Copies of this chain bind each other. A is one copy, B any other.
Amino acid sequence: MAAESFSVTLQDVASAAGVSTSTASRALNGRADTYRISPHTVERVQQAASKLGFQPSQTARSLRLKRSGLIGVVVPDIANPFFSAITRIVTLAAEAEQYSVLIGDSREATEHEERHLQQFLARQVEALVVCPVGIEFSHLESIQRSGLPLVLVDRCPGPSSLVRVTSDHSGGAAQAARLLIQQGHRHIGVLQGLPGTLPNQLRLEGFRQQLEQTGLSLPDEMIAGDNFTETSGYQAACRLLDEQPQLTALFAFSTPNAFGALRAARERNRSVPDELSIIAFDDSPHASFMATPLTTIAQDIDALGTRAVELIMNQLKTGKPPGRTKHQIGVTAIQRASVTKAKL
């Protein structure tokens, strides 16, 4: 029958139990033995506490203990299923360890990302999980140098001392290339995402290398698109379809990009996959219910999130940064219907 837990202080509990705040504190924190508080007193204090509905002020505890019990999470867009899945994994793990989670949405802008991180630092977060916007990393490096546990997920720099978890973008792109080549495709267009980012670059390189190993090439005019959205995918696909008549397949760097391509193809009466094969990086739970179920290169979001959580929790427990900084998670090709043999 907790009364208002609002503004019931340790002092109130102590008075109610007829003891000092120090005794009350120790009684409630299981320090009775080490500080020789009698069982009888402990009992009285606990009763008083529960009668008054005492909730210790985390604010005061944080100040005194220098432990905020807070973990910060910053992502470019919470509403994006990829990031909300990562967020969820981190959140559930944090809760299991009695941490609370601060969330920040950077709206794909490094500037906001930095602002959130500053805020979180001022709030004394004990660890940070960041899905960076992916252009600039210096602010993250200075945070890691300060000793605060920090793990990056997804769009990370290549060589770096930053602790980071990413999918095998290059390998995944190579898989996509092999899949298309096996089906006889020779003229393949790429619907890329945000050009400056590493995942984009790695996918591009992995794809190109695989093509070149097979004696094919990826000319610049076969690459279009400027970010991971449906709109970008649509516009890029329009350009490619209109300007490259010999094109028989598209590799979209995100499922939204692929949706855009689907729309563009539909408008042009190019049937998928009969006249145009499409493969997409990233999977979507809906991919299998689509008109032509998408063949995809799926990131293992669960593994990404779980690894990030492990790295963070380990640092939190041992106080030491992990030995390895770069953690790569494999991707898997999911063959559905959007890729078939090229018509010659």
Q: Which residues of A contact B (CB under 8 A)?
A: 4-6, 55-60, 62-63, 68, 73, 77-79, 81, 84-85, 87-88, 91-92, 95, 100-105, 107, 112, 116, 118-124, 146-148, 259, 262, 284, 286, 289-291, 293
| Max chain B C-beta neighbours (<10 A), residue from A68, A79, A289 | A289
Complex CA–CA separation, A146 to B7 (angstroms): 10
Q: Are A107 and B92 in contact (CB under 8 A)?
A: yes
- Check B103–A103 contact: CB distance below 8 A: yes
Number of this chain's copies in the assembly equals 2
The contact sample of 11 A-B pairs, CB cut-off 8 A, is: A5-B118, A5-B121, A6-B121, A6-B147, A55-B121, A78-B87, A78-B91, A87-B103, A92-B107, A100-B102, A284-B286
Shortest Cβ distance from A61 into chain B, in angstroms? Answer: 9
Please name 15 further chain A to chain B contacts, defined as beta carbons within 8 Å, in addition to the given A84-B87, A100-B104, sorted by A numbering.
A4-B146, A5-B121, A57-B122, A58-B119, A59-B124, A60-B63, A78-B84, A78-B88, A79-B85, A79-B88, A91-B105, A95-B112, A100-B120, A101-B102, A101-B104
Interface of A is mostly: mixed
CA distance A79 to B89 in the complex (A): 9
B105 touches A102 (CB 8 A): no
Given A105-B95, A286-B286, A6 and B56 touching (CB < 8 A)? no
Residues of B within 8 A of A95 (CB): 104-105, 112, 116
Residues of B within 8 A of A4 (CB): 146
Q: Please indicate the chain B residues that have their CB under 8 angstroms from the CB of A103 in the complex.
A: 73, 87, 91, 101-103
In the bound complex, what is the Cα–Cα distance between A5 and B122 (angstroms)? Answer: 8
CA distance A293 to B286 in the complex (A): 12
Q: How far is the CA of A63 from the CA of B119 in the complex (A)?
A: 16
Q: Which of B63, B107, B112, B121 contacts A63 (CB 8 A)?
A: B63
**B residues less than 8 Å from A293 (CB atoms):** 291
Contact of A81 among B6, B79, B123 (CB under 8 A): B79
> CA separation between A233 and B290, bound complex, in Å?
18
A59, A102, A284, A290 pick with most chain B CB within 10 angstroms: A59
CB atoms of B101 and A55 under 8 A apart: no
Known contacts A87-B103, A103-B103, A105-B88; A259/B289 CB under 8 A: yes
Q: Quick one: closest B residue to A230, CB to CB?
A: B285
Residues from chain B with Cβ under 8 Å of A105 in the complex:
88, 91-92, 95
Q: Which residues of B contact A78 (CB under 8 A)?
A: 78, 84, 87-88, 91
Collect the chain B residues with CB atoms within 8 Å of residue A100's CB. 102, 104, 119-120, 123
Q: Which residues in B have their C-beta under 8 angstroms from that of A116?
A: 95
User: Across the interface, which residues of B come within 8 angstroms of A91, CB to CB?
Assistant: 78, 103-105
Residue of A62, A68, A284 contacting most chain B CB atoms (<10 Å): A62
With A59-B68, A118-B55, A146-B6 as contacts: A88 and B81 at CB distance below 8 Å = no
Distance between Cα atoms of A28 and B121 in the complex (Å): 19
Which residues of B lie under 8 Å from residue A120 when comparing CB positions? 100
Name the contact of A123 in the complex, choosing from B6, B58, B147, B148 (C-beta under 8 A).
Answer: B58
Q: Nearest chain-B residue to A73 (Cβ)?
A: B103
Set of chain B residues within 8 Å of A5, measured between Cβ atoms: 118, 121-122, 146
Residues of B within 8 A of A284 (CB): 286
Please give, as numbers and ranges, the residues of chain B lying within 8 Å of A102 by CB-CB distance: 100-103
